[in-house]
Structure formats: structure tokens, C-alpha cells
Amino acid sequence: MKRLACVIALLTALGVGAETALASGFSLQLTSPRLVVGQPAILHANGTIPVEDIGFPYWFSLDAIPTSVTKTCPEDAFEGSQLANSTGGSIIVLTQSERPDGNGDFSIPVGVTPTAPGSLLLCGYTDDGAASTLAVAQLIVNIHKSSASRIAGEAASGVRSCRALLDRPAPCIRDVVKHANGECRRLKSPRSRKQCLRGVRRAAR
């Protein structure tokens, strides 16, 4: 058990999810790049369908559940969507056809744009469109603050400290803002630079 836990932890760190096959010949796995607030990204669901079954329709769904609620996906696709809906999570993919090649392999790209930092449990499912869930994949992802948000947040914290600790905070605030603006201007994206500078201005008010 200890070795299995270490393997799962390593896969999570690499952005690769654990998989559970509930029917012979079916598999499903989730992979994710580093996720940052406001930056579009593509997840991938990769799996297999038994060659003898590739003529039948099978469906993929993907749910996101806060890890504060659970860190283990339900084995039933309907339970997964119900948990996501009722606990502040979301249904990322309601139902999408799995289209395997001649060997039964398929890959589905899933576009996401995170809106807030935090930790989420992603639960992917293969089902038959009726009552049977045939494979489950799970992956815990950590959504990071954007660099612009981090810099603006640090500036806000610095400004609060200046005002709380000093009788004459103005020089201290100017130094904090000057440093934060310098970091903003080093950001590569024009959009991020603008967002960062706007956040620093708000922090200084």
C-alpha cells in the first residue's frame, strides 16, 4: 500500500492521473499541464476500448470536485456529476463521444481556463450511455495564481504593512509600489503587464 501511495503521489506531481478499469479492456487516464488562473490550457483524456467493441458507442465525461470535499472519485459517472454539481465543483464535459482508432485507442482534448486558484479533483469517466460506468480516471490539479495576481497581492500586503507600522507611510508605500511596478513591467505578456499594473494601482489606494 505504501508503494502504491508513492506511485500515485508521483503521477499527481507529473500531472498524470490514476486510472481504474471497471470492465475488461477499458482504460482511461487524465493528463494536465501546469494550470494558472486566467491562462487557457488543454487537458487530455487518453484511453482504450476493447477492439471487439469499437463498433459500439461509448461516452466520456469529466467533473471537477473541490479536494476539500473528497480526494477520491466515485466509481459511478452519475455520482461524480452529482457531487460536482452539489459541492461547488463543475461539470467540465457533460458527454462526448469516444472515437477509437483500429487498435481501440482514443485521445480527447479538453480546453479549460481556470478562474480561481485552488485544488481540484478531476474525475473522468467512460460509460455506455445507459447505466454502466466502464472506466474511471482521477487527477488532483493545483491551480496557481497568475504572476500578475501574485505581484499585486504582495503589493497590497506591503501597503497594509506600511500603513499599520509607520506614522508616515507615504515613502514606504512609494517604495512598495515602485518595486511592484518594476516586477509588472518584466512580465512577458502585454495583457499580464496591464493587469498587474492595474492591480498595483488598486493596492496603493
pLDDT the model gives residue 46: 97
Answer yes or no: do 17 and 115 share one domain. Answer: yes
On whether the CB atoms of residues 129 and 58 are closer than 8 A, the answer is yes
Same domain, 59 and 132: yes
Q: What's residue 131's pLDDT? A: 85
Are 86 and 136 members of one domain? yes
Please give the average pLDDT of every successive group of 10 residues along the chain, which has 205 residues: 36 61 89 90 97 96 96 95 95 96 97 91 95 95 89 91 92 93 89 90 90
Task: Give the structural domain span for 33.
Answer: 2-144
CATH number (domain holding residue 77): 2.60.40.2550
Decide which of 109, 144, 179 is a domain's last residue.
Answer: 144
Tell me: do 133 and 156 sit in the same domain. Answer: no
> Which residues are registered as beta bridge partners of 108?
45
Is 175 found in the same domain as 138?
Answer: no
Model pLDDT, residue 162: 93
- Same-domain status, 12 and 97: yes
* Greatest Cα pair distance in the chain: 78
Contact 140, 122 (CB under 8 A): yes
pLDDT in the model for residue 38 = 80
The whole-number pLDDT of residue 11 equals 42
How high is the pLDDT of residue 149? Answer: 86
- Say if residue 35 is in the same domain as residue 9: yes
Instruction: Please enumerate in sequence order all residues whose Cβ is within 8 A of that of 167, keeping only pairs 6 or more positions apart, or say none.
Output: none
Whether residues 194 and 129 fall in one domain: no
Do the Cβ atoms of 156 and 47 come closer than 8 Å? no
Cα–Cα distance measured from residue 134 to residue 118, given in angstroms and rounded to the nearest whole number: 29
Count how many domains the chain has. Answer: 2
